[in-house]
Chain A
Amino acid sequence: MSEHDETIYRTSTGRVGKMMAILCGTVIVGAIIFFALGDYWISELSPAGQAFAGITDEPAAPAVAQTGADIPITLDFIESKDFRTLAFNALPGELGNNPTINAKVGDRIIFNILNAGKSFHAFGVTLNDEGFGGILGSSAVASPNSPLKPGEGGTSEFIPGEPGTYYYICTVPGHREMGMVGTIIVE
């Protein structure tokens, strides 16, 4: 212990003020960066996650001459009260449930998607007859990791390049199995 004649103040108002300015300033700048970039931080899926979901880098459906015909369709995500059954537009058994879309190769199907439920949903078209992967081209609206909140919506389009049966689904894992799937029959 050292001897000293007068009390030594180790801090002063000025120093405490400077320290608070540095700390609070850094936190505020960080918060601005965080919120300004919004959902960027959670926007992607890891490569392993993409492999698991069957999302590949393959190009979208091959470019094909468009017929010029547009097929607009409105699809609302809806849920049963107990959240056990999910569907597009109407619950199973009701009119308009999961409408089937008929189209020809080259038609442009325009999807108007709305989340009319209380949970989170996302949209896409796939050839896979089960699961939530293999979403084609630019048909996706939102994604499982950045889904549509209740009331949110979006649009996308899909131009089938080959005939066959496609499925439009909610891409949130599990929702297809709970009823959010419909067919697109392309000739």
Chain B
Amino acid sequence: MAHSNWAEWIYLGVVTSLLVYVGAEAWNIERIIDHAPEDAEIIKVTAQQWLWSFEHEDGTKEVGELHLKKDHAYKFELTSKDVIHNFNIPEYTVLLDAVPGRINTVWFSPNEAGEFDIQCREYCGLIHYNMRAKLFVDGA
């Protein structure tokens, strides 16, 4: 065919550069946030049908609620007792699968005091829709 294709090549060039930009920016940000800081306090999170339980470094256990301090780094070690769940604190963009048989880690540092929702973000059965807990961040 004798159609001139220069417009198509320019269009593809624009699309590809946008995608390269998105990819590079995403790669960079993920690289920065992928590793937890050294001094992050470890919180063991156990997911099970259909509740969350937590264990602090000093052995304190909490079920259905979690009390943390503002501006401290925390690293969550997630596991599950039965099926795959997903630990999610939407207001802090904490999200990672809790998989039985392995430990996944995700970290954050809450910069605002208050009450936040914890929910399950992977279908896990009958009460998945109500597998919730509360995060309390103390401003102290």
Contact = CB atoms under 8 A, between A and B. Distances in A.
Contacts of B33: none
A178 B126 contact: no
Contact of A52 (B50, B51, B63, B82): B82
B64 A84 contact: yes
B109 interface: no
Contacts of B130: 83, 119
A111 interface: no
A70 interface: no
Contacts of A147: 126
A173 B63 contact: no
Given A83-B130, A120-B126, A173 B82 contact: yes
A177 B62 CA distance: 12
Nearest to B125: A173
A119 B64 contact: no
Contacts of A72: none
A54 interface: no
Nearest to B133: A84
A144 B48 CA distance: 14
Contacts of A120: 126-127
Interface in B27-75: 48-51, 53, 63-65
B49 A174 contact: yes
A120 B64 CA distance: 18
A147 B51 CA distance: 18
A173 B50 contact: yes
B126 A174 contact: no
A174 B50 contact: yes
Interface of A: 52, 83-84, 119-120, 144, 147, 172-174, 177-178
18 contacts: A83-B130, A84-B63, A84-B64, A84-B65, A119-B127, A144-B126, A147-B126, A172-B126, A173-B50, A173-B82, A174-B48, A174-B50, A174-B127, A177-B51, A177-B53, A177-B63, A178-B51, A178-B63
